[in-house]
Structure 1
Amino acid sequence: MHITVASIVVLALWSLPSATAQTKNTASTNKVKSFDHLVINVSDMERALAFYKRLGFTLINEDGWRRGQGQVSIKIGDNQKINIHKQDVLGPQNKPQDIGPNDKFNLAYIPLAGDADFCLVWGGTIQEAQQHLRDSGVDHISVPRNVTGARGPATSVYFRDPDGNLWEFVVYPQ
């Protein structure tokens, strides 16, 4: 059985109380302001870095990572980042290694490349997003799709990175 990030999120959301109960109970206690960072797991760091550079992303600490000092991140906006982790706890058959009896359910220790799904707001038209992806050498780009994003109705295009992670550029009406 293959457990994906999406299935874990669905299970977590399914176990939450109803939206009505959440609104009543969490309005004054929830102090979450924004995302700080997300993590993407990759199987080949050099291939991933080349891909993200072709897309024009700004990488943080690439030189430090090459010296064995810290991790590489993709800068998103002014205050967020996506950390790039090398998938390295998998065994020769791409199966999780035994990481100890107390850690077997700690999924943070069993990253799988290709399990991520990201949506980033594109600061131009959907046609410009598609052209940017084509110019960056991305092979498979979806047709524009009407979606409902966090801010409401929008249009998105989807593509995959070399590890199969799903990326989405969303454009909101002006």
Structure 2
Amino acid sequence: MNIKSIDSITIIVSDIARAVRFYHEVFDLPLVNGSKTTLQVGGKQQLQFVTPAATGIHISEEPGNSELALATKDPLAKTLAHLTNYAVEIDDGPVPYQGATGPATALWLRDPDHNLIKLVCY
């Protein structure tokens, strides 16, 4: 088997519309055509949202137990200004970080369900 990339990540949330709105507005992630639960990340990955009560999904987790790392091309100062514009509180950082593709700076924040989001700035 030769895994080439991550296709999608699913995050458990209490309110799908609220989660989609947060990730769409704060991180500028576009909605996948015709979907109310899936956003596009980069060119080839998707971020999906489900609730614990979703039918056909075998998930025992509750909202707030996920962690997601997102890489940004923007400089750190622009990323921080953008988050400030949306009144998003930073939990930790910025600090030096060894990312998947090399040295970076990372900071952590939480979405409305308290899922941890790591923003990696290369």
What does 1:1-174 correspond to in 2, within 5 Å? 30-55=1-26, 56-61=28-33, 64-65=35-36, 72-88=37-53, 108-172=58-122
Q: Shift of residue 156 of structure 1?
A: 0.9
Q: Distance in 2 between matches of 1:145 and 1:64?
A: 35
Q: TM-score, normalised by structure 2?
A: 0.84
In percent, how many aligned pairs have the same letter?
29
Question: What is the root-mean-square deviation in Å for CA atoms of aligned residues?
Answer: 2.0
Letter aligned with residue 60 of structure 1: V
| Kept after mapping to 2: 8 A contact 1:57/1:75 | yes
Q: Distance in 2 between matches of 1:115 and 1:58?
A: 24
Q: Which runs of 4 or more aligned residues in structure 1 lie more than 4 Å from their structure 2 counterparts after TM superposition? A: none
Q: Distance in 2 between matches of 1:40 and 1:88?
A: 13
Greater helix fraction, Structure 1 or Structure 2: 1
- Report the 3-state secondary structure (helix = DSSP H, G, I; strand = E; otherwise coil) of the residue aligned with 1:109: coil
Q: TM-score, normalised by structure 1?
A: 0.61
Between the two proteins, the alignment pairs up a number of residues equal to 119
Runs (5+) with no aligned partner, structure 1: 1-29, 66-71, 90-106
Q: Shift of residue 53 of structure 1?
A: 2.7
| Kept after mapping to 2: 8 A contact 1:158/1:167 | yes
Q: Distance in 1 between matches of 2:39 and 2:35?
A: 14
| Kept after mapping to 1: 8 A contact 2:52/2:59 | no
Q: Shift of residue 122 of structure 1?
A: 0.6
Higher RCO (CA < 8 A, seq sep 6+): 2
Greater strand fraction, Structure 1 or Structure 2: 2
Q: Shift of residue 141 of structure 1?
A: 4.8
| Kept after mapping to 1: 8 A contact 2:40/2:47 | yes
| Kept after mapping to 1: 8 A contact 2:106/2:120 | yes
Rg comparison, structure with higher value = 1
Runs (5+) with no aligned partner, structure 2: none
